[in-house]
Amino acid sequence: MGLNLSPPVKVMIGLVVDDSLAMHRRIEAAEALMQSAVPDQVVDAVRRFLLGVAENPASVPSHRLAAAKVVLKRDMPKFKRQRIEPSRYDPLCETTAAELIADGLRRTAERDARLKLVSSVPEPPTDKAS
């Protein structure tokens, strides 16, 4: 069963398997293949190559890191930030925006009243001892 691959994909595969090339170029070609829409057999072969580089303790650390990062990019789904509403994780917390505003205004009024009390207290007379 032969794969019907485009010429650029064949070139990239040739670069990945070429032992005369610098390792960082081979990893670069492998990354390009992993990011492309290629048949699963190609992805599996390239993944095996990258894992071989990443897991080889004799490999240069920068090559190991680059190869592992390429595999992780392909294997791990993209992390998406998601805003979590309070009502989603706490069913008892069903506070509306109007209630939050009213609560904030109430606390502000209480704080203002305490400040008025503190500022209205007369200062104790000072004894001027001569």
Q: Would you tell me how many other CB atoms lie within 10 Å of the CB of residue 46?
A: 25
Provide the domain limits for residue 47: 7-75
Consecutive 10-residue averages of pLDDT for the chain (130 residues): 76 88 90 86 89 89 90 75 59 67 88 77 65
Instruction: Answer positive or negative: Cα dihedral of 48, 54, 57, 61.
Output: positive
pLDDT at position 72, please?
86
- Global confidence as pTM: 0.56
**Does 70 reside within a domain?**
yes
Six token digits for residue 43:
């992805």
41 falls within a domain = yes
Is 54 within a domain?
yes
What's the domain count of the chain? Answer: 1
Q: Which two tokens stand for residue 99?
A: 């209630």
- What confidence score (pLDDT) does residue 1 get? 41
Assess if residue 32 is contained within a domain. yes
Assess if residue 108 is contained within a domain: no
